[in-house]
């Protein structure tokens, strides 16, 4: 095995991949939330569609999109690999475990939260991204995503699934944001406070912003 493969397949290397792909996906969340928040202009989707068109057709963005898909796949595959290895590391479980005395439940449940987000992602992409790209591929035309949002978010169950997805994302980020820096070796009293503050703020702001989108459409605040 070369030094490179050895490094990336070691326990620390697997965590490095988790950390880097996680931070990459965090940067994606910023872009995704910003562009989707254009619906709050409440201008019949004009600003949103303008930026949606840019994101859907610009060649640089479309190339980066391949990187994004790879980033998701790597984060998911590495997560499953780590979860399996971690389960195997303790073949006989404890009969009594008082883990709440030493750690937070969401820190211990990243695999579960990640799986919930993955299920949400399948539902979410089959609502918007997959039909839009399929249509673009077949006809060269983009779908009216704004109108699709207005239609899809009339269903209370869909809205509830999206809100539940945002909760999963909140807990996942609350541990993941800070954890990504720790895995990179960035843990020091000089900046721990700053990372913690930004991490908590990010974990709240992004999911709340996302959750407000289906909620606002359902209640007719955005139309």
Partner 1 sequence: MSAGNMRLTLKVWRQSNTNTQGGFENYNLDGVSPDMSFLEMFDILNEQLIEENKEPVAFDHDCREGICGMCSMFINGQPHGPLKGVTTCQLHMRSFQDGDTITVEPWRAGAFPVIKDLVVDRDGFDRIISAGGFVSVNTGNAQDANNLPIAKEDADDAFSAAACIGCGACVAACKNASAMLFVSAKISQLALLPQGQAERSIRAEKMVAQMDAEGFGNCTNTHACSAECPKEISFENIARMNREYLGAKVSSKAL
Contacts with partner 1, residue ranges (CB under 8 A): 2-3, 6-7, 10-16, 82, 85-86, 88-99, 101-104, 107-108, 110, 175, 178-179, 182-188
The minimum distance between CB 203 and partner 1, in angstroms, equals 15
Residue 55 Cα distances to 25, 63, 182, angstroms: 16, 11, 33
**CA 43, CA 28: separation in Å to the nearest integer?**
25
CB 113 within 8 A of CB 172: yes
The minimum distance between CB 18 and partner 1, in angstroms, equals 9
158 CB-side CA count, 13 A: 18
The minimum distance between CB 79 and partner 1, in angstroms, equals 11
Question: Nearer to partner 1 by C-beta: 8 or 31?
Answer: 8
The minimum distance between CB 104 and partner 1, in angstroms, equals 7
Question: Nearer to partner 1 by C-beta: 61 or 85?
Answer: 85
CB 40 within 8 A of CB 222: yes
The minimum distance between CB 85 and partner 1, in angstroms, equals 6
DSSP 41: G
**CA 197, CA 181: separation in Å to the nearest integer?**
13
Question: Nearer to partner 1 by C-beta: 44 or 111?
Answer: 111
Question: Nearer to partner 1 by C-beta: 48 or 106?
Answer: 106
Question: Nearer to partner 1 by C-beta: 11 or 147?
Answer: 11
Convert 108-128 to b/e letters by CB count within 10 Å (16 or more is b).
Answer: ebbeebbbbbeebeeebeebe
């Amino acid at each position: 095995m070369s030094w490179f493969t050895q490094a990336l397949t070691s326990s620390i290397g697997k965590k490095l991949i988790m950390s880097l792909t996680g931070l990459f996906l965090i940067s994606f969340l910023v872009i995704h939330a910003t562009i989707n928040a254009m619906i709050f202009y409440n201008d019949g989707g004009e600003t949103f569609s303008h930026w949606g068109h840019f994101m859907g057709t610009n060649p640089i963005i479309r190339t980066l999109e391949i990187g994004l898909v790879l980033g998701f796949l790597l984060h998911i595959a590495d997560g499953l690999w780590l979860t399996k290895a971690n389960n195997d590391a303790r073949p006989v479980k404890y009969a009594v475990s008082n883990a709440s005395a030493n750690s937070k439940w969401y820190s211990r449940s990243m695999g579960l939260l990640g799986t919930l987000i993955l299920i949400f992602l399948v539902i979410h992409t089959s609502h918007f991204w997959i039909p839009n790209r399929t249509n673009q591929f077949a006809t060269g035309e983009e779908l009216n995503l704004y109108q699709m949002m207005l239609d899809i978010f009339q269903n209370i169950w869909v809205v509830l699934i999206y809100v539940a997805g945002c909760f999963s994302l909140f807990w996942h980020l609350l541990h993941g944001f800070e954890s990504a820096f720790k895995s990179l070796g960035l843990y020091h009293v000089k900046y721990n406070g700053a990372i913690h503050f930004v991490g908590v703020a990010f974990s709240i702001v992004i999911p709340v912003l996302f959750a407000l989108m289906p909620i606002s459409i359902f209640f007719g605040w955005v139309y």
